[in-house]
A and B are shown apart, each in its own frame.
Chain A
Amino acid sequence: MEEKRAAVQMRDITKRFGSTLANDRVWLDIYKGEILALLGENGSGKTTLMNMLSGIYFPDDGKIFINGKEALIRSPRDAFSYGIGMIHQHFKLVDVLTAAENIVLGLKEPGRLDMNKVAQRVQEICDAYGFDVDPNQKIYNMSVSQKQTVEIVKVLYRGADILILDEPTAVLTPQETEKLFAVLRAMRDDGKAIVIITHKMHEVEELSDRVAILRHGQFVGDMETKKTSAQDMTNMMVGRPVTLNIERPEPVNPQPRIEVKNLTVRDAEGTLKLEDVTFTAKSGEILGIAGISGCGQKELLEAIAGLQKTESGSICYVKDDGTREELIGKDPTAIAAMGVSLSFVPEDRLGMGLVGSMDLTDNMMLRSFRKGRSWFTNRKEPKRLAENVVKELEVNTPGVSTPVRRLSGGNVQKVLVGREIAAAPTVLLTAYAVRGLDINSSYTIYDLINKQKKAGVAVVFVGEDLDVLLELCDRILVLCGGKVSGIVDGRSAQKPEVGMMMTRLGGKTNG
Chain B
Amino acid sequence: MFDLVAFFPRAVMQSIPLLFGSTGETLTEKSGNLNLGIPGIMYVGGICGVIGAFFYEQAGASNGFLAVLIPLVCCLVGSLLMGLLYCFLTVTLRANQNVTGLAMTTFGVGFGNFFGGSLIKLTGAEVPSIALTATSGYFRKTLPFAESTGVFGKLFLSYGFLAYAAIAIALISSYVLKKTRVGLQLRAVGESPATADAAGINITRYKYVATCIGSMIAGLGGLYYVMDYACGVWSNNGFGDRGWLAIALVIFTIWRPNVGILSSMLFGGLYILYLFIPTGTFLAVKELYKMLPYLVTILVLVLTSMRNKRENQPPESLGVPYFREER
Q: A residues touching B (Cβ–Cβ < 8 Å)?
A: 17, 54-57, 75-77, 79-80, 86, 88, 92-97, 101-102, 104-107, 109, 112-113, 138, 140, 154
Query: With A and B bound together, what is the CA distance between A94 and B185 in angstroms?
Result: 10
CB-CB nearest in chain B for A105: B199
Inter-chain contact A105/B196, CB cutoff 8 Å? yes
Residues of A within 8 A of B121 (CB): none
Inter-chain contact A95/B192, CB cutoff 8 Å? yes
Inter-chain contact A106/B310, CB cutoff 8 Å? no
Other A-B contacts than A95-B191, A96-B187, A105-B184, 14 sampled, CB-CB below 8 A, are A17-B327, A56-B198, A57-B324, A76-B200, A86-B198, A92-B194, A93-B192, A95-B316, A96-B313, A96-B316, A105-B185, A105-B188, A106-B201, A140-B310
Residue from the set B179, B195, B198, B324 with the largest chain A CB neighbour count within 10 Å: B198
Inter-chain contact B198/A80, CB cutoff 8 Å? no
For B167-197 the 0/1 string (1 means CB < 8 A from A) is 0000000000001110011011001101111
The contact sample of 14 A-B pairs, CB cut-off 8 A, is A54-B198, A57-B324, A57-B325, A92-B195, A95-B192, A96-B316, A97-B188, A97-B191, A102-B195, A105-B196, A105-B201, A106-B185, A106-B201, A107-B200
Inter-chain contact A101/B199, CB cutoff 8 Å? no
Residues of B within 8 A of A92 (CB): 192, 194-195, 198-199
Q: B287 at the A/B interface (Cβ < 8 Å)?
A: no
Residues of A within 8 A of B191 (CB): 94-97
Q: B126 at the A/B interface (Cβ < 8 Å)?
A: no
Inter-chain contact A105/B327, CB cutoff 8 Å? no
Query: With A and B bound together, what is the CA distance between A109 and B181 in angstroms?
Result: 9
Query: With A and B bound together, what is the CA distance between A105 and B187 in angstroms?
Result: 10
Inter-chain contact B181/A113, CB cutoff 8 Å? yes
Chain A: minimal CB distance from B306 (Å): 13
Chain A: minimal CB distance from B232 (Å): 42
Of A57, A106, A113, the residue contacting B199 (CB under 8 A) is A106
CB-CB nearest in chain A for B316: A95
Which B143-186 residues sit within 8 Å CB-CB of chain A?
A: 179-181, 184-185
For B284-327 the 0/1 string (1 means CB < 8 A from A) is 00000000000000000000000000110100100000001101
Chain A: minimal CB distance from B198 (Å): 4
Question: Interface size class for chain B?
Answer: 20 to 34
Query: With A and B bound together, what is the CA distance between A54 and B184 in angstroms?
Result: 22
Residue from the set B185, B191, B200 with the largest chain A CB neighbour count within 10 Å: B200
Give 4 nearest A-B pairs by CB, closest first. A106-B199, A77-B200, A106-B200, A92-B195
CB-CB nearest in chain A for B192: A94
Chain B: minimal CB distance from A47 (Å): 10
Residues of B within 8 A of A57 (CB): 324-325
Query: With A and B bound together, what is the CA distance between A112 and B188 in angstroms?
Result: 18
Query: With A and B bound together, what is the CA distance between A77 and B181 in angstroms?
Result: 16
Inter-chain contact A113/B310, CB cutoff 8 Å? no
CB-CB nearest in chain A for B199: A106
Chain B: minimal CB distance from A49 (Å): 14
CB-CB nearest in chain B for A93: B195
For B187-228 the 0/1 string (1 means CB < 8 A from A) is 110011011111111100000000000000000000000000
Inter-chain contact B311/A96, CB cutoff 8 Å? yes
Given contacts A75-B200, A106-B200, is CB(A101)–CB(B325) below 8 Å?
no
CB-CB nearest in chain B for A154: B199
Query: With A and B bound together, what is the CA distance between A94 and B195 in angstroms?
Result: 7
Of B187, B194, B201, B327, the residue contacting A97 (CB under 8 A) is B187
Residues of A within 8 A of B180 (CB): 112-113
Inter-chain contact B184/A101, CB cutoff 8 Å? yes
Residues of A within 8 A of B325 (CB): 17, 57
Query: With A and B bound together, what is the CA distance between A86 and B196 in angstroms?
Result: 14
Residue from the set A96, A106, A154 with the largest chain B CB neighbour count within 10 Å: A106
Chain B: minimal CB distance from A15 (Å): 10
Query: With A and B bound together, what is the CA distance between A77 and B199 in angstroms?
Result: 7
Residue from the set B179, B195, B316, B325 with the largest chain A CB neighbour count within 10 Å: B195
Query: With A and B bound together, what is the CA distance between A79 and B199 in angstroms?
Result: 10
Given contacts A80-B200, A96-B311, A106-B196, is CB(A113)–CB(B327) below 8 Å?
no
Residues of A within 8 A of B324 (CB): 56-57
Chain A: minimal CB distance from B29 (Å): 14
Given contacts A94-B191, A101-B184, A105-B188, is CB(A113)–CB(B200) below 8 Å?
no
Chain B: minimal CB distance from A350 (Å): 12
Inter-chain contact B198/A76, CB cutoff 8 Å? yes
Query: With A and B bound together, what is the CA distance between A105 and B202 in angstroms?
Result: 12
Residues of B within 8 A of A101 (CB): 184
Residues of A within 8 A of B184 (CB): 97, 101, 104-105, 113
Residue from the set A75, A79, A88, A105 with the largest chain B CB neighbour count within 10 Å: A105
